[in-house]
Copies of this chain bind each other. A is one copy, B any other.
Amino acid sequence: MLEITGLRKVYEGRGRVVEALRGIDLTVERGELVCVVGPSGCGKTTLLKCVAGLLAPTAGQVRLAGRVVDGPPPGMAVVFQEYGRSLFPWLTVSQNVELPLREKRVPGPRRTALVQQALAAVGLADAGSAHPWQLSGGMQQRVAIARAVAYEPQVLLMDEPFAAVDAQTRADLEDLLLGLWHRLGITTMLVTHDIDEAVYLARRVVVLSAAPTVVQEDLHVDLPHDRDQIITRSDPRFAELRAHVYGHIRAAKTDPGRPPAGTMKA
């Protein structure tokens, strides 16, 4: 479904040249849920934007369903790390969620239903008429998630989508995402800083190294298919995987490119 080959991205501007991605090779199958983790500033957002067709790679390419991505493909939804700025302040919360649906020509009644369901799912059923700037940070982030959910995309890209909500809400949203993924078989790529979350959600966890950034580890998560906040997280295998990823990130930060000492075979 999604093939990333030799992806390189260099930012050039005013004297500062940053090689955000050195060479990324990665394939995501249709309907797979992949989590991307890596040290702060290593290029996760850059990777996601290249996949979304929002940023032109310096070298290499991204293919989606066989076609080279050179602009945002149809049927894709993105939740941005800067959730606040991705909401339109002149629209109400419902209007924000509804806008992409209009564009998709979803008929009126169905649109209203989708918007209401999505807002209810993220716990904002009664904030529909507020404007984004009247909401707390976590609420804004949930609006951005609701917008993506209501869109019913085939490909879903999320950049730290649960960073601004409390632990309980986060767990609820994780399960919402899993439910949606089960129901619609969405190909999903999710950037997160929370290693527990990555292991809990993903079928595969991709660990990026620090700059110069490459894929440091591509880990298959062999936990049972149906996840449950209590059961899955108390599985001893969960702890093993978690420790494994943590070790890699730690290593990535200090000594990029080399696997950490005492690597566990996953």
Q: How far is the CA of A38 from the CA of B163 in the complex (A)?
A: 15
Shortest Cβ gap from A143 to chain B (Å): 11
Interface size of A as a range? 35 or more
Shortest Cβ gap from A175 to chain B (Å): 14
Of A37, A142, A165, most buried by chain B (CB within 10 Å of CB) is: A165
Oligomeric state, in copies: 2
Q: Which residues of A contact B (CB under 8 A)?
A: 11, 13-16, 18, 37-41, 43-45, 81-82, 84-85, 123, 129-131, 134-139, 142, 160, 163-170, 193-195, 246, 249-250, 253
Q: Could you tell me if A249 and B168 are in contact, using CB atoms closer than 8 angstroms?
A: yes
18 more A-B residue pairs beyond the given contacts A40-B139, A41-B138, with a C-beta to C-beta distance below 8 A: A11-B134, A38-B166, A39-B166, A40-B166, A41-B136, A43-B136, A45-B137, A81-B137, A82-B84, A82-B137, A84-B85, A137-B160, A138-B193, A160-B164, A167-B193, A167-B249, A168-B246, A170-B193
